[in-house]
Structure 1
Amino acid sequence: MEATPDGSESHREEVLSDRNDRLRDLIRSISHDLRTPLAVAKGNVELARETGDLSRLDSAEQALARATELLDHLALLAKEGEGIHEPDPTDLGSVAEAAWSVVGREEATLSAEVDLVVSADRQRLQQLFENLFDNALTHAGSDVTVTVGSLEGERAGFFVGDDGPGIPEDELTAVFETGYSDDSGGKGFGLAICERIAVAHGWTIGAVERADGGARFEVSDVEVVGR
C-alpha cells in the first residue's frame, strides 16, 4: 500500500509503534507492582506454616487482594491509556498509611503528619505512595525514616522524603525514566510509574536536592479540597 499524500500511513505506523512502547511499559509496570504484595503473601504463608500462627493467613489474604486490585486497575490503564477513575475527595494521610501497611518494614518509620484532602483516584494515589516508599526502603536502607508532608507556599501539593543518601544532582530527572538503572544495578520502574500516575491526574512530580541529605519527591499542581 502506498502512503497517502498527507502521510496518514506513516502517522498510523507511528501510532502503532507508540502503542507497542506503552504496552511494553505496562507489562513492566504489572511485573513491578505485583512483586511486593505477592512477596508479602508468600512470606506470611511460610510463617503460618512454620509457626502455626493462622493470623498470618489474614495478612496473606490482604496482600493477595491488593494484587488482584492492582491487576484490575492496570487492566483499566491498558484499556484507557491514561485512564484514572473519577477523582474524589481523598484524605492524603490515610492513603499514605494504607500504602505503608503494604510495603513498610518493622524497622522503618513513617511520619505522615499531613492534614490534606485532595482530589484524586484513591487507588492510583496509594500506588504512587507505595512506589515512593518502596524506593526509599530500597535505596535508603531498611531502617529509613520516611516523611510525608504538605508543600509550603503557593504550590499546592505534598512531598515524600527520606533520610537516606539522596540522589545525585545529575540524576534528578533521569530517575523517572522507564528502566533507569542506578549504582545498585537494579532496573527502576517504580518512579516511572509514579510519574505516569501524576500526569494522569494533571499533577507534576519531581525529585529535588536537599541540603540536609536524603531524597525528596515533590508532587505539585494538586487540587486541595480540604484540610
Structure 2
Amino acid sequence: MGDRDRERRARDLRRYETILESLDDAVYAIRPDGTIVYVNERYAEMKGVDRDELLGTDIYDWVSEETAERARRERAAMREEGRDAGSIEYEFEPVDGEPFPAEMRFGPTELGDDGELGRVGVIRDVSERRRRERELERQNERLEEFASIVSHDLRNPLDVAQGRLELAREEVESPHLDAVARAHERMATLIDDLLTLAREGVDVESTEAVDLTAVTRECWRGVDTADATLNAAASLTVRADRSRLKQLLENLIRNAVEHGGEAVAVTVGDLDDGFYVADDGPGIPEGERDAIFEAGHTTDPNGTGFGLAIVERVAEAHGWTVSVAASDAGGARFEFTGVDVE
C-alpha cells in the first residue's frame, strides 16, 4: 500500500470514527481472538468505564457467561446458515448500576491493513421498547378482562330479559313490548360493538391473500342493505386477516346505508397502494372528519357510534392508514393506504 493510499485510508477511518462517535448506540470492534480494538464513547459511557480500560481486553470479560454463550450460539448459527449478521437480546451490565435490556447486532469485518477478519457490533438500549411492550401487554390484558365482563355480565342478563319478553308476548299483546324488543336489540348491538372494539386493538398476527371484490360481495350479502347498490370495482388481492377485513367492510357498508339512505350507491375500488370505499350519500363535513373515528361519535340517534372506530382499529391493526374525504358523487370516501397488495 502506497503513502497516498495510506493517507486516504486514514482520512476514511477518521471520518467513520466521527460518525460512530455521534451515535446514540454503543459500537465496538474486536479481533478474531475477541480482543477489543475499538469502542466509541457511548459504549464506554454505557459500561461506566474509560475507553482505555476496555481496549486490549477480551470482549467476554465484560459480559456474563450466559450472554457470552448466547453470542457464541448465534455466531455458530450464522456460520451454519451462511448469514453475515447476527443479533441477540440480553441484559447489559454496567460496572456500577443496574443491568438493563439491550440488543446487540454484530457481523464480520476486515480489521487493519493485514486483511484480518474480526467483528464489529452495535449495542442498543431497548429499555423503552421493553417498557412499551409490557404496557401493551397490560393494556391487552385489561381489554380482554373488559371484553369478558361485557360478554358475561351484560350479555347473560340480556339473554334472560329477551327470554322473559318472549314469555310475556305469549300472555299479552302490547305495543310496549315492541319497544322493549327494540331496546333489547340496541343493547345487543352495543354489546357486540363494544366486544369488537375491545378486541380489535390487537395487532394482526397472520394474514392471507384476500380477493377484495369477492370479500366485498360476501360482506354485502351479510348486511341489511335495503335498496342500496354495490359497485365492486376493486381488482386487488390484498394481504389481510380475512375476518377482520370483513368487519371493516361490513361496518363501512352499514355506515353508508344508515347515513346515505336505503338507495345509496356504494363503490369499492383500487388505489395505488390500497383501496377505497365510497358512497353517494350526503358526505361528511370537513370540520367533522377528525372526530368520526372517535368511539361513541354518531349523528344517528339509533347508532352506537362504534362502527367507524372499529374501522380505524382494524386498519391500524394491519398497519394501514385510513383517511376520509369527499367522493366524486359528493358522499363519503374512506381511503386505506399502506396496504400489502399482491
Provide the secondary structure at the position in 1 that maps to 2:256: helix
Counterparts of 2:146 and 2:219, CA distance in 1: 23
The answer to whether residue 303 in structure 2 is matched with residue 186 in structure 1 is yes
Which residue identity lines up with residue 303 of structure 2 in the other structure? Answer: G
Q: CA shift at 1:181, angstroms?
A: 2.6
Post-superposition shift, 1:149? 0.4
Q: Give me the whole-angstrom Cα distance separating, in 2, the residues matched to 1:116 and 1:16.
A: 34
Pairing 1:32-71 to 2, within 5 Å after superposition: none
| Gap change, CA 1:81 and 1:147, over 3 Å in 2 | closer
**2:279 — aligned with what?**
162
Spell out the pairing of 1:1-227 with structure 2 (5 A cutoff): 22=143, 78=199, 82-151=202-271, 155-182=272-299, 184=301, 186-210=303-327, 212-225=329-342
In the comparison of the two structures, how many residue pairs are matched?
A: 167
Would you say the 8 A contact 1:82–1:200 is kept in 2?
yes
| Counterpart secondary structure, 1:187 | coil
| Per-residue Cα deviation, 1:143-189 (whole angstroms, up to 9, x for no partner) | 111000011xxx40101011100001111121000111326463310
Partner of 1:200, secondary structure, is: helix
1:144 maps to a residue whose letter is: V
SS in 1 for 2:222: helix
Cα pair distance change 1:99/1:213, threshold 3 Å: same
What RMSD, in angstroms, separates the aligned Cα atoms of the two structures? 3.4
Q: Deviations for 1:80-119, whole angstroms, at most 9, x for unmatched residues? A: 9514351111100011011101004241101102110011
Q: Classify the secondary structure of the residue corresponding to 1:98.
A: helix
Alpha-carbon contact 1:160-1:217 (below 8 Å) kept:
yes
Contact 2:140 2:202 in 1 (8 A): no
Cα gap change, 1:135 to 1:21, in 2 (>3 Å): farther
How far residue 224 of structure 1 moved from its aligned partner, in angstroms, is 0.6
Q: Structure 2 counterpart of 1:129, which letter?
A: L
CA distance in 1, matches of 2:322, 2:145: 22
Identify the range of structure 1 (17-26 vs 199-208) with the bigger mean alpha-carbon deviation: 17-26
- Normalised to the residue count of structure 2, the TM-score between the two structures is 0.43
Q: Distance in 1 between matches of 2:206 and 2:137?
A: 28
Q: Which moved more, 1:101-110 or 1:187-196?
A: 101-110
Listed one character per residue, the Cα deviations across residues 98-143 of structure 1 (whole Å, up to 9, x for unaligned) are: 1101004241101102110011011111110000000001000011
- Structure 1: which amino acid aligns with 2:221? S
Which structure dedicates a bigger proportion of its chain to strand? 2
1:206 positional shift? 1.3
CA distance in 2, matches of 1:26, 1:161: 31
SS across alignment from 2:202: coil
Aligned-partner residue type, residue 320 of structure 2: W
Query: Which of 1 and 2 has greater Rg?
Result: 2
Q: Percent identity?
A: 45
Structure having greater relative contact order (Cα 8 Å, sep ≥ 6): 1
What is the alpha-carbon distance in structure 2 between the residues aligned to residue 106 and residue 209 of structure 1?
23
Q: Is the 8 A contact 1:173 1:206 kept in 2?
A: no
User: In 1, distance between residues paired with 2:325 and 2:250?
Assistant: 19
TM-score normalized by structure 1? 0.63
Q: Report if aligned partners of 1:104, 1:133 keep a CA contact under 8 Å in 2.
A: no
